[in-house]
Structure formats: structure tokens, C-alpha cells
């Protein structure tokens, strides 16, 4: 009789333990973050330039080069890099910030004496960083 009760208690315990594991697994799946599709929204800088019409210390327009998320450009020796306005295009429906400050192409002034990180935020909240490094030569 004692062995039967022990088997019954052990079986009940194992059933309860298994039930808890199954329930907790289902809960984890329900609590998952949004699907990958929402995090695949485009958040790209498509072009990045400096125009002489926006920057009085430039005598012509200057393009940059892209290598992944790194953007590089060379401006003439003696160019004041501390206050430049960049002209850039991005994916649709994004917000661009530098150091938490919202940016507007051809309006926002940034100091490019050190690399500047542009953060592009998509509608789903996902972000992509671009590091812009400008030198003079």
C-alpha cells in the first residue's frame, strides 16, 4: 500500500512539474518581441554631401563615400569643420538624430572635427548608426 501511495505522489509531482514547464514555454512565446519583419523596416542614409550653398566656407559641393555604416569625406585644407550643414537623404518615415538632437538635412549644424554618429530610427523603434568622418587635405 505504501509503495502505491509513493508511486501516486511521484506521478502527481512529475505531472505537475511537466505542466508547469509546458505552460511557461507557451507564456514565453506569447511575450516575444515583435516579429523580425517589423525590425526590417529600412533605416538608411542613402546619400550624404556638403553643398557650398549651405556652407559659406566651401567653394564647391563635396560628396562622401560609403563603406557599410561608415561615411567618409575629404574637404579642402583650411575648411572650418566645426560648423557644417550636411545634405543627406534617408529611407522614408525615419527620424535622424545626432547626440539625441533631431536633425534636418541642409539645416542642422554639426561639428565634424571628430567623427559624428548619425542615428536613423525607423517607425518600429529600431535604429541604425552611421559614423561620419570628415577630414581636410
The model's pTM is 0.72
> Distance between CA atoms of 42 and 39, rounded to whole angstroms?
9
Region 113-136: mean pLDDT is 97
Same domain for 125 and 90: yes
Claim to verify: residue 115 and residue 55 sit in the same structural domain: yes
Tell me: do 75 and 131 sit in the same domain: yes
On whether both 127 and 62 belong to a single domain, the answer is yes
Do 14 and 67 fall within a single domain? no
Phi, psi dihedral angles at 98 (to 5 degrees): -130, 120
The domain tally of the chain equals 2
Number of H-type helices and E-type strands within the chain: 2, 11
Instruction: Judge if 59 and 114 occupy the same domain.
Output: yes
* Predicted pLDDT of residue 51: 98
- Judgement on whether residues 80 and 127 belong to the same structural domain of the protein: yes
Q: Which of the pair, 34 or 78, is modelled with greater confidence?
A: 78
Reported as a pLDDT band with limits 50, 70 and 90, residue 40 is confident
Range of the domain at 47: 41-136
Amino acid at each position: 500500500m505504501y509503495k502505491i501511495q509513493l508511486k501516486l505522489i511521484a506521478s502527481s509531482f512529475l505531472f505537475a512539474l511537466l505542466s508547469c514547464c509546458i505552460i511557461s514555454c507557451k507564456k514565453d512565446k506569447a511575450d516575444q518581441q515583435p516579429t523580425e519583419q517589423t525590425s526590417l523596416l529600412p533605416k538608411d542614409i542613402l546619400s550624404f554631401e556638403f553643398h557650398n550653398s549651405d556652407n559659406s566656407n566651401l567653394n564647391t559641393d563635396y560628396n562622401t563615400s560609403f563603406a557599410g555604416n561608415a561615411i567618409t569625406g575629404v574637404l579642402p585644407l583650411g575648411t572650418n569643420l566645426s560648423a557644417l550643414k550636411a545634405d543627406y537623404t534617408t529611407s522614408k518615415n525615419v527620424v535622424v538624430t545626432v547626440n539625441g538632437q533631431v536633425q534636418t538635412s541642409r539645416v542642422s549644424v554639426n561639428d565634424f572635427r571628430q567623427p559624428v554618429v548619425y542615428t536613423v530610427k525607423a517607425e518600429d523603434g529600431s535604429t541604425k548608426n552611421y559614423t561620419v568622418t570628415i577630414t581636410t587635405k
